[in-house]
Chain A
Amino acid sequence: MQCAVPNVFFTDIISTVEFNHTGELLATGDKGGRVNKNPPQFRSEYNVYSTFQSHEPEFDYLKSLEIEEKINKIRWLPQKNAAQFLLSTNDKTIKLWKISERDKRPEGYNLKEEDGRYKDPNSITKLQVPVLIPMDLMVEASPRRVFANAHTYHINSISVNSDNETYLSADDLRINLWHLEITDRSFNIVDIKPANMEELTEVITAAEFHPHQCNTFVYSSSKGTIRMCDMRASALCDKHTKLFEEPEDPSNRSFFSEIISSISDVKFSHNGRYMMTRDYLSVKIWDLNMESRPVETYQVHEYLRSKLCSLYENDCIFDKFECCWNGNDSVVMTGSYNNFFRMFERGHRRDVTLEASRENSKPLQVLKPRKVCAGGKRKKDEISVDSLDFNKKILHTAWHPQDNIIAVATTNNLYIFQDKVI
């Protein structure tokens, strides 16, 4: 992989990254509630295409709670016309944004005088048709829908259905189904809230619709399980149709077993046959037809297993790493610490660790694979576990739907890499 463009610096912490369906556009959300749009083209100068404030901080007076403006997720809608639509969400409210470009403006109206005053209609004697003349490109973002007041707990996922009419939103305990045109109503399709909150044992951590089957969705839990539900079976999908769970290895039992088994992300493959889950230490690929265990497991940073106590103290153990597939589902990617990110080539069982850093971000510079020394004598160019910077973490990554172009978000930098051009 090589760096196509210099890194882009954001003033706030990046909280989500998402390519649109064609790969033309890349959206990032940050902690300040802003959504940035960037076209991932190869240029010597890289500029943010447009930025708009999606969410503002709010205050729930009833509960005396502040609602953060941080963008948790962005999901693009399939493009139907010249305009682009995306859903963005913070902890409580989902918004549908229309993003349109304007590069022409009409000129030639004979309605006004030169000083701007409207002409007397009686003085107008001829018809003048305005013409469109080119102008500087202007990108407009306008909120089209606001889906609010449907979630008591913090929203962690949104997913657009393949029917292009509905989408789901998931919080810690419930999943709601929305119609894109209707904002004052949503249907609750999953509710795992116990009657007595003291009996709470797990929460929902991520949810996603199947890419092709509009009736199927999955949601992951903090216990490391994934449940697949069929909306045709019943209105309330509390009973799953499939439960994906791998038995825990008792030899690895520790104080932190529950934490590291919590699933932070779930993604269907593009072909709809597999799904991928990310827990704290590993990435697992599941065949949708086999519930008993994953078909592939990739250890992202197993060397951290002996450091869990320290990671618990500094809260890093609660980091929620995301994962993504490449366009043809042959490679998966996820982030790690020290600004490392890892790619696993499924067919050939190969993996590589790369680093997103300013030193490596010169245009057309080929990234050098990195290696972490887990123990023993450290070789040259290896980095020891104790030298890892846990403040530098890559939680969000995205892969272009067709090309080998990836977007990697560090704390407040966005890096775009592409496959080596021969």
Chain B
Amino acid sequence: MINTMECVADAQSLISISLMKIHNSRTQRGGIKLHKNLLVSYVLRNARQVYIKEKYAEIYRMQQYEEVMTVCNEIQELNPLELDAEDTEDEDLTRTACCGEEFHRGSIKEPEPVYYRSCCMEAPLPSPCDQLPVNINMHCNKTTVLDLDTHVVTTVDNGYIHQDCCCDAFQCAQSAQSPAKKRKMDFGYCASDLDDFTTSRKRLKREDCLYSCQDFTDTSNISNLISIFGSGFSGLLSRQADLEQICSKQALAGLGAWTRAIVAF
């Protein structure tokens, strides 16, 4: 077992560092170093495993908490004002029992897979969608999602919630403050894609300052990097990656976009 002291942030930074190394290896003199890239892919795999595990655990905890709070709120709504001390105590006990029961019940059943959206690390802004029963990443104001099945990358700004979200898209669309940006990219890898990617980065940063660069720690750009490299280890050597060979749609459907992108590796 990997040391549990490794936190999600370390795993995420390792993922971005590893992807950068793979990217840099393509322009190194002498061609791609097979041995080194294989070792980097192992680090990527290990970091991915820790990251996914921690995220699932976090999602499960949040889901448990939301269920408990929902039940408690419902109980409070039933008798908000007609409580005396005894009833309050009973109510508390009942709430505790309910919460406990819900928690217990929740702990028995397996956590349902929740669509998880990658979010950039920005301060959450209040959004009209706050009151909607959506998933935990509701408050992000900017989201980039890579769908590995359709190869569609969508960037959403300012509260417009992507279709991955569980809430009603129509309701959310009405509360959008600005139109969403949508981008479709062809992920059949070719040299021109890589050129577009590198030129869009404006300049290649030196390795010693690269890992602190926001470009490569930003999850949206990590998604872009993953998409360009294709899936599996063949992304290093071949330019056409068939995602369905790596993981079935069924397995992918149960994961959020960000985790799906990681699973591809």
Question: A residues near B, CB below 8 A?
Answer: 63, 65-68, 70, 91, 153-154, 156, 172-173, 196-198, 200-203, 205, 222, 250, 253-259, 262, 309, 312-315, 318
Contacts and interface: CB of A to CB of B under 8 A. Distances in A.
A253 B17 contact: no
B249 interface: no
The 5 closest A-B CB pairs, nearest first, are A258-B42, A68-B30, A65-B31, A198-B232, A198-B234
Given A253-B2, A255-B6, A255-B43, A66 B29 contact: yes
Given A198-B232, A255-B6, 15 more contacts: A65-B30, A67-B31, A91-B30, A172-B35, A198-B246, A203-B34, A203-B38, A222-B35, A253-B1, A253-B2, A255-B46, A257-B46, A312-B17, A313-B211, A315-B21
Interface residues of B, number: 33
Given A198-B246, A255-B14, A153 B34 contact: yes
Contacts of A70: 30
A67 B238 contact: no
B232 A255 contact: no
Interface string B36-79: 10110011001100100000000000000000000000000000
A362 to B, nearest CB: 35
A154 B34 contact: yes
B29 A314 contact: no
20 contacts: A65-B31, A66-B29, A66-B30, A91-B31, A154-B31, A154-B33, A154-B35, A203-B35, A222-B35, A254-B3, A255-B6, A255-B46, A255-B47, A258-B46, A259-B39, A259-B43, A262-B39, A312-B14, A312-B17, A318-B36
Interface string B1-36: 111001000110010010001000000011101111
Nearest to B231: A198
Contacts of B233: 197-198, 200
Contacts, number: 84
Q: Is the interface of B mostly helix, strand, loop or mixed?
A: helix
Contacts of B47: 255
Contact of A250 (B1, B10, B38, B39): B1
A250 B1 CA distance: 7
Nearest to B47: A255
B121 interface: no
Nearest to B233: A198
B245 to A, nearest CB: 8
A172 B140 CA distance: 46
A318 B34 CA distance: 12
Contact of B39 (A63, A156, A253, A258): A258
A66 B208 contact: no
Contacts of A197: 233-234, 237-238
Nearest to B246: A198
B118 to A, nearest CB: 21
A312 B30 contact: no
Contacts of A222: 35, 38-39
Nearest to A205: B35
B28 to A, nearest CB: 10
B234 to A, nearest CB: 5
Interface string B217-241: 0000000000000001110011000
Contacts of A153: 34
A148 B39 CA distance: 28
A154 B36 CA distance: 12
A205 B10 CA distance: 29
Contact of A253 (B3, B33, B208): B3
Nearest to B11: A255
A91 B208 CA distance: 27
A143 to B, nearest CB: 22
Nearest to A199: B233
Interface in B179-234: 207-208, 211, 232-234
